[in-house]
Amino acid sequence: MSVNKLALIRYKTIDECLKNRFRKWTLEDIIERVAQMLYEYEGITSGVSKRTIQADIQLMRSDKLGYNAPIVVTDRKFYSYSDQAYSITKVPINANDVEKMKEIVDVLKQFNGFNYFDEMSDMIARLENNLYKSENPRKNYIQFENNRQLRGLEYINPLYQAILNQVPLMIEYKSFKALKSQHNIYYPYLLKEYRNRWFLIARSKTGTTLLTLALDRIMALHELAKEPFLEYTGVDFDRYFDDLLGVTKSERDRAQKVVLKVNKFNAPYVLTKPLHHSQQLLSEDGEGVVIRIDVVLNFELEREILGFGECMKVLSPRLLASRIKKRLVQSAEQYEEVEKL
């Protein structure tokens, strides 16, 4: 059974409503929300009928689309999922949809190689490989970096839409240091990927500075359509991360000249895969190379340098060299304790 575009928008909107743990949804609430999304995505002003949404819910409950959604009604008026972990987005796609996606991939492949599509090459390969695996689960001819335990990827599209449409969010977030999660209103500005992890750059309604929220620490989120959105001025987000490795940065941080010495065995690796786009080769001899990068001093930079171990030395600035030396000494002391035992 094929699903048209408008029906898919309705199903996904209903799904988002029923997943939302921050409020209770009556049928009228769902109808209003679906009508709002149909207007935002397709410009449809006629809304949607009660009969259509009731039919959608019944279809989602059935196995006709393979959803078998556990939709329940409590107190005779509130709709929700009996299984809080359920979402139609986690249901495998059917054979007809696979064929349609193959056609789309074939079209995208025709444009692969054009300058505008340069950054889409790996995405097209991912799509084609995943479609192939859906029909041939035992075969895999290309492997991408993937962390199967990584959480939060389901929030990428809702967050992107919130940024695009400038919609504030109520986010339940639990940092690594916190004992329990907290609820706050955030204004989302940018999604950033770093080493297969995703982050949201946002500002809290009660704060004045930019915050970096890891998507895998988000417990839940909800759009606040009636809450006014506050833009963040004075920052060019297209260039905000140009002067650093990773995502850890404040508006006050500025790039510093970092000079590193790399031994001859690791020099080819650093020269062929620069640590940062600002990297410059300062000198080269039989012992190795000396390079310069202009970046903010942060945790990710230290972790990158420490990853090279004895093969890399910080020549400047002295503050960074001192921090790296201290961490290496602390690391070595752990092994000294083991030898004493």
Give me the pLDDT at residue 2, please. 46
Q: What is the DSSP letter of 179?
A: S
pTM over 0.75: no
Start-to-end C-alpha separation, the chain: 67
Range 131-138, long-range pairs (CB < 8 A, 24+ positions): 131/98, 131/101, 131/102, 131/105, 134/92, 134/93, 134/98, 135/98
For the chain, the average pLDDT equals 86
User: Mean pLDDT, to the nearest integer, of 64-88?
Assistant: 89
CATH of domain 153-223: 2.30.30
Q: Which fold has domain 5-90?
A: Arc Repressor Mutant, subunit A (1.10.10)
Q: Between β-strands 71-74 and 78-81, what pairing exists: parallel, antiparallel or unpaired?
A: antiparallel
Domain ranges in the chain are: 5-90, 95-135, 153-223, 256-340
User: Mean pLDDT, to the nearest integer, of 148-158?
Assistant: 78
Exposed/middle/buried for 245, CB within 10 Å: 0-12, 13-18, 19+?
buried
Give me the pLDDT at residue 1, please. 42
Burial 71-91 (b: 16+ CB within 10 A, else e): beeeeeeebbbeeeebbbeee
Q: Which of 182, 180, 230, 191 is nearest to 214 (CA)?
A: 191
Q: What percent of the chain has pLDDT over 90?
A: 50
Q: Is pLDDT above 80 for 100?
A: no
User: Mean pLDDT, to the nearest integer, of 90-108?
Assistant: 71
